[in-house]
């Protein structure tokens, strides 16, 4: 991967390391029990980002360094809740319109801009109408909605992280067990079993 030592480069590296950890802890399971569903595909990766980011903020020596890292943390929330959300809105509207016929590039640009305006609540000065052409995930036709896993993973990993902070009886083994269940249980069930939380309730 491209690596020049910036904070966001480190986040990307850690993100991919999270994927690696997810696959690694499942390596001895039967092959069909290693193929986890898309909804949990970005949980280990976003969890790894959070662990490393919080640790680097805590260990930052200089104020400027700490401010930069906190900015990175806030930017993550914007990325997961607005940028990724815009992709979801775009794709949902695309599938709706596609049922009536094909869409040309002008219409795709309009849909992209409308989706970004909605997701960012009209807060930006300019938008990116060609984003649909530049983002790989829209073109992986076998995996529609390859944006939802990021938002889900962001919220789920925040919840997992907080469960570990509030409950001393949870250990790394519980996290590993949770990841090992991702290809054989529903997300609600694996959260109940390994974290003792109910995903259908808003308090989590
Ligand atoms: Zn990822």
Q: How far is the CA of 202 from the centre of ligand 1 (A)?
A: 25
What gap in Å lies between CA 80 and CA 83, rounded to an integer? Answer: 6
Q: In this predicted model, what pLDDT tens digit does every residue of 112-132 receive, in sequence order?
A: 999 999 999 999 999 999 999
Query: Does 174 reside within a domain?
Result: yes
Q: How far is the CA of 121 from the centre of ligand 1 (A)?
A: 26
Query: Does 201 reside within a domain?
Result: no
Q: How far is the CA of 47 from the centre of ligand 1 (A)?
A: 11
Query: Does 1 reside within a domain?
Result: no
Per the structure, the count of domains in the chain is: 1
Q: How far is the CA of 45 from the centre of ligand 1 (A)?
A: 6
Query: Does 128 reside within a domain?
Result: yes
Q: How far is the CA of 23 from the centre of ligand 1 (A)?
A: 12
Q: How far is the CA of 37 from the centre of ligand 1 (A)?
A: 13
Q: In this predicted model, what pLDDT tens digit does every residue of 71-80 receive, in sequence order?
A: 999 999 999 9
Range of the structural domain that residue 73 is part of: 7-195
The answer to whether residue 1 scores a pLDDT higher than 80 is no
Please report which confidence band the pLDDT of residue 3 belongs to, taking 50, 70 and 90 as the band edges.
confident
Q: In terms of C-beta distances under 8 Å and separation of at least 24 residues, what long-range contacts does 111-119 make, across chains too?
A: 112/86, 114/89, 115/86, 115/87, 115/89, 115/90, 116/86, 116/90, 118/86, 118/89, 119/82, 119/83, 119/85, 119/86, 119/89
- What CATH number does residue 71 fall under? 1.10.1370.20
Query: Does 202 reside within a domain?
Result: no
Query: Does 203 reside within a domain?
Result: no
CA distances from 104 to 107, 189, 194 (A): 5, 42, 47
Q: How far is the CA of 150 from the centre of ligand 1 (A)?
A: 8
DSSP state of 4: -
Q: How far is the CA of 191 from the centre of ligand 1 (A)?
A: 20
Query: Does 200 reside within a domain?
Result: no
Query: Does 68 reside within a domain?
Result: yes
């Amino acid at each position: 991967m491209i690596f020049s030592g910036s904070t966001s480069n480190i986040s990307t590296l850690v993100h991919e390391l999270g994927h690696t950890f997810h696959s690694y802890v499942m390596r001895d399971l039967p092959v069909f029990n290693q193929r986890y569903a898309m909804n949990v595909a970005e949980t280990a990766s976003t969890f790894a980002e959070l662990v490393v980011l919080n640790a680097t903020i805590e260990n930052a020596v200089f104020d400027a360094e700490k401010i930069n890292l906190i900015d990175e943390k806030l930017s993550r929330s914007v990325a997961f809740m607005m940028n990724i959300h815009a992709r979801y809105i775009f794709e949902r509207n695309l599938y709706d319109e596609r049922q009536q016929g094909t869409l040309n590039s002008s219409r795709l640009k309009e849909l992209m801009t409308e989706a970004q305006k909605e997701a960012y609540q009209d807060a930006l000065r300019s938008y990116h109408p060609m984003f649909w052409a530049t983002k790989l995930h829209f073109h992986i036709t076998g995996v529609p909605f390859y944006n939802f896993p990021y938002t889900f993973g962001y919220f789920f990993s925040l919840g997992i992280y907080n469960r570990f902070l509030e409950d001393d009886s949870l250990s790394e083994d519980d996290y590993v067990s949770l990841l090992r269940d991702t290809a054989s249980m529903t997300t609600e069930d694996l959260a109940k079993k390994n974290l003792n939380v109910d995903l259908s309730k808003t308090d989590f």
